[in-house]
Structure 1
Amino acid sequence: MLRTAYSRAFPHATLRRAAIALAGARLLSTSASPKLHRSPPLSGANPPMEFPCIDRIESRQRDLMAGPEPTYEKVVTGYELFTHDKAFVCDHGGLLPSLDIAYETWGELNADRSNAILIHTGLSASSHAHSHAKNTNPGWWEKFIGPGKAIDTDRFFVVCTNVIGGCYGSTGPWSADPATGKRYATTFPLLTINDIVRAQFLLLDHLRIDRLYASVGASMGGMQSLCAAALHPSRVGRLISISACARSHPYSIALRFAQRQALMADPNFNRGFYYDGVLPHIGMKLARQVATVTYRSGPEWELRFGRRRRAPDQPPALCPDFLIETYLDHQSERFCLQYDANSLLYVSKAMDMFDISKSVTQRLHAQREHARAELKQNPRSSNSGNHTVCMNVDDQPQSAAGNSAIETSDEITDDLVAGVKDAMQPALILGVQSDILFPVKQQKEIADILRRAGNSRVTYYELDAMYGHDTFLIDVVNVGAAIKGHLENDI
């Protein structure tokens, strides 16, 4: 990559940035396709289209070649850091020699440490759910947390973490591998939602919180909250899962796959080893545009944007023209340098693989124990990357080998029910009718399997809101009231 090569030739940082910028400008100018040349063809009847959006992308690429690279740790500040200094074996066999978990807290623990609420985040969120003295910027759930609010900090001690695999303080691909001193990049092991939750409970052990008052999450956070209640039933008092699922469905898997493919197709992706070079800005931008389309709803965009154009008195353009296009362009540009591309790959893949079924949970546990036993027999002081567990099919739980031996709808449901058989906590399951990413059918499935497992304290709440999947971030009145009622009512 350009930075690596020019580090040797130009040890002084200022000279190095100038040299890289010049090389990048030459690269862009010499590799430009004739079709993108701005001079009109000699014999053409019409002048070529202008592409200001491509001009901006090329300009941004030159800036990235010159540096400096984003420092994701500076996007979010003021968090606490817990370090687990023992090996963490992942469900798919990868090993982290140690791990850091960034977390923030609000409120006070009571005397018997029984009033703690763990908030689980969505895919790209940080631990900064609410403002505080060390970071006065509004948090991503600012209006839901605080004195007298839905999650009342006068009553509860609230904890929120950045998930492992993320880039806002917790160990992820951006972090340095202690075995090499270099960033993990794509030597980072594959993660599961179960891994993320197990790491969070290590933090709870550190905080000496034996039992949560509630486990609360939306979107990927709702997967985590359900997982926490199922895997640690004795340590979770109440469950709130919003706009989530019991297992990822093909539609959402396909959408996240398209995002990852767009990201990995960026010529600067370099199989994840881009930290010493140019960040995959274009791929991240395209991935975020796909994601943003799934986060909101058509009716909301009809109301906000309709078919209005940015400059209706100008001829149509192939670059952002309609207001909805300018919105997607702006949102994706803002995001693409604030979140690590590898984190997007790893965390979104963990979402794809989520399945609370008993057979899947057993298989992951067996894989992890196999890797743990192998580690004891053959200690690997430097193996911290993608170590793949190879198990004999006969050693795997029945129906979990290969893709799955479970074929019928009833068998799938029975397997899900068995996966939550110990989750008997009072549960609030909330869905949104306009959500296309996690349709309400998936929240109904969660409520159904909990009830079939014998949980008689399940409340299903469905909102008729226009905001789509992002309703949990926007509808303070209705979502907040449901959360507050479930947390504070005697059940």
Structure 2
Amino acid sequence: MRPLRGLIMPNPGLLRVKRFNSGSSTNPAMMFPCLDKMERVSEGLRTTTVGTQGQNEPVYGKVSSGFEIFKSNRPFYTDYGGVLPNFQIAYETWGTLNENKSNAILIHTGLSASSHAHSTEANQQPGWWEKFIGPNNVCLDTNKWFLICTNVLGGCYGSTGPSSLDPADGLPYATRFPMLSVHDMVRAQKRLIKEHFGIEKLYASLGSSMGGMQSLSYAQQFPNDVNKVVSVSACARSHPSSIATRHAQRQVLMADPNWNRGFYYPTATEPNKIPPHVGMKLAREIATVTYRSGPEWESRFGTERLDDDRSPVLCPDFLIETYLDHQGEKFSLEYDANSFLYISKTMDLFDMSLSHVERSIRRREKAQELYESGKLNKVEDPLVDKDSGKKKHRTTTVEQAYEDLKRGCKPLLNNEVLVVGVKSDGLMPCWQQREIYSLLEGETNPNVTHVELQESESYFGHDTFLLDLEHIGRSIGQFLCK
């Protein structure tokens, strides 16, 4: 893919406009204020130190404060053959842990969320799930429950991620960071839960979107260490349509030449590197389209233009375009680009199939063997099977894949599980939640509850879990209390 160089070069574009508007043209050259704006941002970043500079908290983040840190100094081996010699997890809590530590609920986040699910004394800004948490709340009553929310491993709001320093050389990991799985994120959380809080068994594991994947993963890996499981707008394995959408987002981001294959963090010799804000902006715009539904777009924006009396332009012209432009621009310097890439890919790789779990265990064991022998960084691909010397490719039928997935979900059969889907959700359609219900034998398993919101109840699409306290929140609250 050709780099989007025209979007970030500041002065040549203006010169071209002047040259092509010399008076010999039949029509005047079109102006591009949206590109001019991004060029001005780039120029400003050339003289402003932006980025992490080895810190886990990006200076451009607006919600990365008020959290606590759990540090683990034991090596952490990942599902895809990597290792972190140590790591840390950012977390926040609400409510009070009871004496026998039986009222703890772990809240898992979506792709780009921080640990700040609700305001605290240390950070009084509203959290991303502010109206779902609080005293006597219909969803998560802090008079009853002790709530824990973490920034995931691989994130950039306090937890170890690509922007963190590699202890081997003191430089940011960047794209030397190991590829992660959702199961890795959960195992890192497990260390926090057991080693820091001393909690042997969670009352509930709860999450939406990628958080819903994590919630299922927690029960799959530690079925005896959690009572109730809540998974909203998630799936048991990623599906082609979602993978394709996230692939497009990543490709757009990586096409920004400032991404520099992940090595855009400031250094002592280059303190003013420009982060790939253009690629991040465009990737976020693509993502935002998938978060809401067509009926909501129609209701909010229709096909209204900013000014029907002015000639159309190639920059944002429709109201929906200005909304996407704003969302992308706001996000572009609030989140680390590498964290976005890694966590997005992590969602694509999610698979609860038994064969996937078994391969992951073998890879972790191989990573530990190589790391302890000092050979891990000398192996080009630690995932190659040592017996055959070739990567394995499995071809299975739809029926075989489903049975494999069903076997992988067996550990959850004795847990109480709530599965929530939203009919207007285009990113993780409701049939994927029905699949979870089927995999857990919902028709005959009294432990499994399935709730599906109709379009008449919510037309907010995938983002319904962030907005609908009445249907989503109340369903969760009732399930937790039964």
- TM-score, reference length from structure 1: 0.89
Offset from partner CA, 1:28-73 (integer Å, 9 cap, x none): 32x4386544761332111111111111011111011111204526
Offset from partner CA, 1:211-257 (integer Å, 9 cap, x none): 01000000000000011111110011001000000000000000000
Which residue in 2 is equivalent to 1:405?
395
Aligned partner of 1:203: which letter?
A: L
CA contact 1:179–1:384 (8 Å) conserved in 2 = no
Which residue in 2 is equivalent to 1:22?
none
Corresponding residue to 1:112 among 94, 97, 100: 100
**DSSP-derived class of the 1:365 partner:** helix
CA contact 1:186–1:342 (8 Å) conserved in 2 = yes
1:458–1:116 Cα change, 3 Å: same
- The answer to whether residue 34 in structure 2 is matched with residue 49 in structure 1 is no
Distance (whole Å) between structure 2 residues aligned to residue 430 and residue 386 of structure 1: 42
- The answer to whether residue 181 in structure 2 is matched with residue 192 in structure 1 is yes
Which residue in 2 is equivalent to 1:32?
13
- The answer to whether residue 344 in structure 2 is matched with residue 389 in structure 1 is no
Q: How far is 1:374 from its partner?
A: 2.8
Which residue in 2 is equivalent to 1:20?
none
Which residue in 2 is equivalent to 1:350?
346
Which residue in 2 is equivalent to 1:307?
303
**DSSP-derived class of the 1:167 partner:** coil
Distance (whole Å) between structure 2 residues aligned to residue 484 and residue 386 of structure 1: 48
Distance (whole Å) between structure 2 residues aligned to residue 361 and residue 452 of structure 1: 23
- TM-score, reference length from structure 2: 0.91
Corresponding residue to 2:199 among 200, 203, 209: 209
Segments of structure 2 that go 5 or more residues without pairing to the other structure are: 1-7, 53-57, 267-272
- The answer to whether residue 330 in structure 2 is matched with residue 334 in structure 1 is yes
1:245–1:395 Cα change, 3 Å: farther
Which structure 2 residues correspond to residues 65-144 of structure 1 after superposition, within 5 A?
Answer: 65-71=46-52, 72=58, 75=62, 76-144=64-132
1:27–1:284 Cα change, 3 Å: closer
Which residue in 1 is equivalent to 2:359?
363
Distance (whole Å) between structure 2 residues aligned to residue 250 and residue 429 of structure 1: 21
**DSSP-derived class of the 1:459 partner:** strand
**DSSP-derived class of the 1:213 partner:** strand
Offset from partner CA, 1:313-361 (integer Å, 9 cap, x none): 3221111011000000001000010000000110011100000000001
Offset from partner CA, 1:193-220 (integer Å, 9 cap, x none): 0100000001011210110100000000
CA contact 1:107–1:155 (8 Å) conserved in 2 = yes
Which residue in 2 is equivalent to 1:259?
249
- The answer to whether residue 43 in structure 2 is matched with residue 62 in structure 1 is yes
Q: How far is 1:182 from its partner?
A: 1.0
Corresponding residue to 1:445 among 418, 435, 442: 435
**DSSP-derived class of the 2:202 partner:** coil
1:38–1:441 Cα change, 3 Å: farther
Corresponding residue to 1:417 among 377, 399, 406: 406
Q: How far is 1:279 from its partner?
A: 0.6
- The answer to whether residue 465 in structure 2 is matched with residue 472 in structure 1 is yes
Distance (whole Å) between structure 2 residues aligned to residue 136 and residue 261 of structure 1: 36
Corresponding residue to 2:313 among 309, 312, 317: 317
Aligned partner of 1:470: which letter?
A: D
Which residue in 2 is equivalent to 1:372?
368
Distance (whole Å) between structure 1 residues aligned to residue 200 and residue 333 of structure 2: 38
CA RMSD of aligned residues (A): 2.1
Distance (whole Å) between structure 2 residues aligned to residue 275 and residue 137 of structure 1: 28
**DSSP-derived class of the 2:92 partner:** strand
Aligned partner of 2:68: which letter?
A: E
CA contact 1:426–1:458 (8 Å) conserved in 2 = yes
CA contact 2:51–2:265 (8 Å) conserved in 1 = no
Which residue in 2 is equivalent to 1:7?
none
Q: How far is 1:312 from its partner?
A: 2.5
**DSSP-derived class of the 1:81 partner:** strand
CA contact 2:134–2:140 (8 Å) conserved in 1 = yes
Which residue in 2 is equivalent to 1:5?
none
1:274–1:395 Cα change, 3 Å: closer
CA contact 1:80–1:103 (8 Å) conserved in 2 = yes
Q: How far is 1:462 from its partner?
A: 0.4
Distance (whole Å) between structure 1 residues aligned to residue 163 and residue 182 of structure 2: 19
Q: How far is 1:403 from its partner?
A: 3.6
Q: How far is 1:404 from its partner?
A: 2.4
1:239–1:384 Cα change, 3 Å: farther
Identity across the alignment (%): 51
Distance (whole Å) between structure 2 residues aligned to residue 454 and residue 279 of structure 1: 52
- The answer to whether residue 163 in structure 2 is matched with residue 147 in structure 1 is no
1:57–1:177 Cα change, 3 Å: same
Distance (whole Å) between structure 1 residues aligned to residue 322 and residue 203 of structure 2: 43
Aligned partner of 2:408: which letter?
A: G
Q: How far is 1:402 from its partner?
A: 2.8
Distance (whole Å) between structure 2 residues aligned to residue 450 and residue 57 of structure 1: 49
1:385–1:53 Cα change, 3 Å: farther
Which residue in 1 is equivalent to 2:3?
none
**DSSP-derived class of the 2:402 partner:** helix
CA contact 2:9–2:39 (8 Å) conserved in 1 = no
CA contact 1:188–1:385 (8 Å) conserved in 2 = no
Which residue in 2 is equivalent to 1:12?
none
Q: How far is 1:393 from its partner?
A: 5.8
